[in-house]
Every structure is written in structure tokens, then in C-alpha cells.
Amino acid sequence: MPERSDPELPPLPYDYDALEPHISEQVLEWHHDTHHQGYVNGLDAAEETLAENRASGDHSTTGGALGNVTHNGSGHYLHTLFWENMSPNGGGEPEGELRERIEEDFGSYDAWKDAYAEDNGSETDLENEMAEAFSNDDEARTVETRARSSVVDDTCEVFRQRVDGKQRQGRWCYFEP
């Protein structure tokens, strides 16, 4: 296993203006080039700290560096997935297993949208819903909130961006309920 991952900001698979009117060119450029780049830089710096700690034998900052690897690594990898899973030609209703799970839990896609809009995605409820959506069984759902918080927080982060007018109480409106 390599000592460093040498993280790099991946190029977007589409132009900055390709997701308008849902996400503006300005917001997409900032979100990719500044925000995501911050996770890449943070991960690289944390890995550098760990390498220096191993070389020197002084591990007094290892705990903080490991936390930074977790936070920045999950932010980097989840944003990479985010870019890859959006498309100028995307949209519509989910299909396959995701659709089946939504219908199992909410009865229909429209009922899911209504439930999300009614709750307005409170951060705690949204984090719990997303953690459950990523789990495959009841045992996985019992994972401590603290242990899952970094990945879930970074996944939910997209809903918490406060940089564009297309928001509903501080969260992105990617669909209209």
C-alpha cells in the first residue's frame, strides 16, 4: 500500500455551464475549483503530516492528521462521485434498486419528495436518512453517529451549500416537490 495517495482534483466531465439552470456556472466553478480543491489540498497536507510523523518518530500530531485524512479524503472522494453522477442529460425519476427502495420506504417517488419537502431535510434527519440508505441491514444502521458523521456530513454537504439563489432554507433545490 503506498504511503501517499497523491490526490488530484479530477476535471469535470462537462462544461461549467452544462448544468444550468439547476446549478449556475459560477456556483459549479466555485464548488469544483475552490471547494473540492480544498479537500484535495487538505488530504495531501494530512498525508504529508503522517509521512513526516512516521519519518521522525514523533506522533504527537498523528491523531489530528488522521481526522483530517478522514474528513478531507471523504470530501474529495464523495465530490468526485458527485461530479461523475451528474449529467447535463440527467434528471427524471430514479430507476432500478433505488426506485424500489424509495417505493418500499415511502410508497412512491412523489411521496418521498413530499416527505423530504415537508421535513425540509433537517440536517440531523437527513444525515440519519442517508446513513440508513447506505446501510444494507439493521446491524449497519446501529453504527455510532459519530463514526459515520464525516462521510455523512460530506455527503449531505451538497444540500448545505449557501452560495446560490436556488435554495430552500439554505439547501439546494435539485427537484421541485
Q: Which amino acid is at 120?
A: N
pLDDT of residue 116: 74
User: 172 by DSSP, 3-state: which?
Assistant: strand
> pLDDT truncated to tens, each residue of the chain (177 aa)?
577 899 999 999 999 999 988 888 999 999 999 999 999 999 999 999 999 999 999 999 999 999 999 999 999 999 999 899 889 988 788 889 989 999 999 999 989 888 877 765 444 454 455 445 444 444 433 333 333 344 444 444 444 443 344 444 444 444 444
| Sequence ranges of the chain with CATH classification 1.10.287.990 | 22-91
Strand partners, 168: 171
Q: Is the pTM of this model over 0.75?
A: no
Q: Say if residue 21 is preceded by a cis peptide, omega within 30 of 0.
A: yes
pLDDT of residue 22: 80
- Asked if the 22-91 domain carries CATH number 1.10.287.990, the reply is yes
